[in-house]
Structure 1
């Protein structure tokens, strides 16, 4: 997906540490979307927060993310499996507008279609953005992230492959089928809705098996 990100609230800080939990970003980009946003349903009663929207080259909002639970920090292998890891429980829901192949605004090219694979890739990359092998030098993280991002795309492009299983979860109260996988970094899932959007999600410390998704009635309330 050729998109750019706007209103990024939770990208890893340059030194590998978490950003301040007090950071909040405007809701403006979310309000510009011509599609409904999804988050966890009312069974989740914890904190909710905006993360980022992604736009096409012509400025149209194509996808965005909403966080639930603890605002995640970068995890490395030193805390993996330790008691500290259990303190961080979060799930991020990614909404992606379902779009066919279409011409760019200037008519000079074609924009890539979006699919469930697009949601799976965005969710996979989102999880990676909060992961950092602790033994790795900071200067090598970009190379590691590029390699892992490519792996996430390969996995997302083969949702029927052995790395994925099927999980049924409610979407607006109706059971829906999702592609699901777990890794050492957390879990990722992706599926579609009846509202013309694809939904991806990722998280750790919070089980995916008990989640449900619902349309966000008032995105402005998240600001």
Structure 2
């Protein structure tokens, strides 16, 4: 918008962060996000070295006492809630979820019991994660919450029945070792879940990128996930 005085123009310039400042703020935000991943008492998994595209941090999930229980790492295009039919674009991404394997245990504050985490936990997180980035083109904006609640309940039921007909078997390498996964596809993308020899469960979801050619590996350096220059 044009300004009509020198004072207004100076104010507008001064209120806009300089490129160097914006870069610094972005780096700070990335490092703060990385702190959550660094607190995890388990190894993180992402796509292995065969994937050469962009990598990015997503989010971690913690218990009431602050203990990190699971988290996600993104690969490819950062997904958004949008209709492919409207934009004409097809996002290509895969999100990898690592879930700490834990038995039934008391909560950190001693007031309750936490459920055990299993491969179904990873399947549930993957299914709900995919739905969070999904919006059927024929769906009215005002109805999306109702649709999401319904689909989320369905995803939970599917995750609780990994031996059901909705899932098929898929073997993918984890740290170079062929590992069995439960796999399913839908009109919105694909979801898979399995367990590693390292004592964690892996879930993953994506679209526009085939799951059949993926491989997973321990992430030994979060640096590539913190760089947002792609």
- Shorter chain as denominator, the TM-score bin is 0.7 to 0.9
TM-score (structure 1 length as normaliser):
0.84
- Residue 99 in 1 paired to residue 114 in 2? no
Distance 1:193 1:158, change over 3 A: same
Instruction: Check whether the contact 2:56–2:224 (CA below 8 A) recurs between aligned residues.
Output: no
Instruction: Check whether the contact 1:164–1:180 (CA below 8 A) recurs between aligned residues.
Output: yes
- Residue 84 in 1 paired to residue 89 in 2? yes
**Matched residue SS, 2:89:** helix
CA distance, structure 2, for counterparts of residue 188 and residue 151 of structure 1: 13
Give the drift of 1:205: 0.5
Instruction: Check whether the contact 1:172–1:215 (CA below 8 A) recurs between aligned residues.
Output: yes
Instruction: Check whether the contact 1:27–1:220 (CA below 8 A) recurs between aligned residues.
Output: no
CA distance, structure 1, for counterparts of residue 109 and residue 92 of structure 2: 44
- Residue 29 in 1 paired to residue 36 in 2? yes
Which of 169, 182, 185 aligns to 1:182? It is: 185
Give the drift of 1:222: 2.3
Matches within 5 A, 1:144-159: 144-159=147-162
Q: How many residues align?
A: 198
Give the drift of 1:83: 5.2
Give the drift of 1:134: 2.3
**Partner in structure 1 of residue 77 of structure 2:** 70
Give the drift of 1:103: 0.4
- Residue 119 in 1 paired to residue 122 in 2? yes
CA distance, structure 2, for counterparts of residue 189 and residue 135 of structure 1: 26
Give the drift of 1:73: 1.7
Instruction: Check whether the contact 1:31–1:220 (CA below 8 A) recurs between aligned residues.
Output: no
TM-score (structure 2 length as normaliser):
0.82
| Structure with max Cα Rg | 2
